[in-house]
Amino acid sequence: SGSTSLERETLRFLNPDTVENLANQYGTPTYIYDMATLKASARSALSFPNAFGLTVRYAMKASPNAAILKLFNNLGLHIDASSGYEIQRAMRAGVPASHISLSSQELPSDFDSFVDLGVHINACSISQLQRFGERCPGGKIGLRFNPGVGSGGTGKTNVGGPSSAFGIWHELLPEVKRVVAEHKLQVVRVHTHIGSGSDPAVWQNVAALSLDLVREFPQVETLNLGGGYKVGRMRQEQSTDLAKIGAPVKEKFEDFALETGRKLHLEIEPGTFLVANAGALVCRVQDKTSTSAHTFLKLDAGMTEVLRPSLYGAQHPLVVIPKDRTRADRAASYVVVGHCCESGDLLTPAPGEADTVSERELTSAEIGDLMVVEGSGAYCAGMSTKNYNSFPEAPEVMLAPDGALYLIRRRQTLEQALQNELDLPTSALA
């Protein structure tokens, strides 16, 4: 191939020695997170422009390991939980209940006990609001709205607009007000989140629309503008400049204060932005095969560990670490596939389509080489498709600034994967 190595992706926070050490110590596939990058992204989010105060909530669904929750908790981040189970996980990691908010598709059955502990609830539908009112009359509540427009990197990650089930449709305001009055609720927070990988212009527009929703509820103190800030995983992609997208929103908050006398507290709740490029998956090239059309590299990982390419056609950088590091460096083009018996298990999907293959230029690879899937800190371990093809859940390791590797989740055993399976009585099998 005539391509130069300059076009290829490179490692972000790892170096080849660390990749080898990780693979030798913990096997493959293994996720690794970089503490320094996690801290840097948290600091960057904490300096989001704001007029009258800021809370950064980590959308923990992006990567829910307790070590990450503890690290962010220590840095002053709060938590956005998407289920009662996430609330419990955050509390077990030491996050105070008062630092947790819930925006969920289903209210946990025991949500009022979470309310008693101080968890903030955002009602995401009229029926959630109604149930909250019945169980906690006079209580403080947030309202998650679907502001009528959305924006995501793909259709599957857009959660605003008439085709989205997330949040209370903005035109249902009269109904919302009726339920609020019926139960004498105090609406203290308005929440909008329009998608992952949002277009900054749409996000800014929604910030303005959200202020109009705030006008409808005089007790609102906090406006939560969600997450969705795009990060560049591939080298040609840019990460969102938070200072840049936040500046005009800060001005809108200031204008709003001048006009209404209300100084709103800003909340943002990024997931991707905080963790995506702080994580990678280290795996191994298990096989190499060719057809008349393509050469395929087969990994010992795939959609079970990094589902995003198969589900969204997402592109993650792939970096080959040759087992023989003295080997001459050449480029070669490959289709990279995962270890599941599924033609859709691809690490190099055709952009926008999950059922066609496309090649990627990588460092020429041999069976036994290591492969690093970069940008795997968000929605990879968290979304791993538990035990498909009976592969065990991969371990997670934290890389400390001094180079130390800490195991923060063990590799699952087959015993653990099967522990809830029960035998049918012999009579029933007959």
Binding site for ligand LLP (CB under 6 A): 59, 62, 80, 103, 157, 193, 196, 226-229, 269-273, 308, 378-379, 383
Cβ-contact 307, 380 below 8 angstroms: yes
Provide the minimum distance between the beta carbon of 126 and ligand LLP in the complex, in angstroms, as a whole number.
18
CB closer to ligand LLP out of 194 and 399: 194
Pairing of strands 186-192, 168-169: unpaired
List, by residue number, the catalytic residues: 341
Name the minimum Å distance from CB 269 to ligand LLP.
4
Q: How many CB atoms lie within 10 A of CB 61?
A: 16
- What's the rounded Cα separation, in Å, for the pair 219 and 187? 6
Up-side HSE of residue 21: CA atoms within 13 Å toward CB?
Answer: 14
Amino acid at 430: A
Closest approach of ligand LLP to the CB of residue 403, in Å: 29
Decide whether 23 or 87 has the Cβ nearer to ligand LLP.
Answer: 87
Pairing between β-strand 295-299 and β-strand 331-337 as defined by DSSP bridges? parallel
- Shortest Å, Cβ 24 to ligand LLP: 30
In the complex, the smallest distance separating the C-beta of residue 315 from ligand LLP, rounded to whole angstroms, is 12
Q: Is 105 left (phi over 0), alpha (psi -120 to 50) or beta?
A: alpha
Residue written as token pair 């997330």: 166
Closest CA to 362 of 261, 200, 234: 234
Per DSSP, what are the bridge partners of residue 85? none
Return the number of the residue (125 or 196) whose C-beta is nearest ligand LLP.
196
Task: Tell me the β-bridge partners of 223.
Answer: 190, 266
Among residues 200 and 322, whose Cβ is nearest to ligand LLP? 200
Q: Which residues contact 386 (CB under 8 A, 6 or more apart)?
A: 393, 417
For ligand LLP, which is the closer residue by CB, 133 or 270? Answer: 270
Strand ranges in 126-214 using DSSP code E only, listed in sequence order? 140-146, 168-169, 186-192
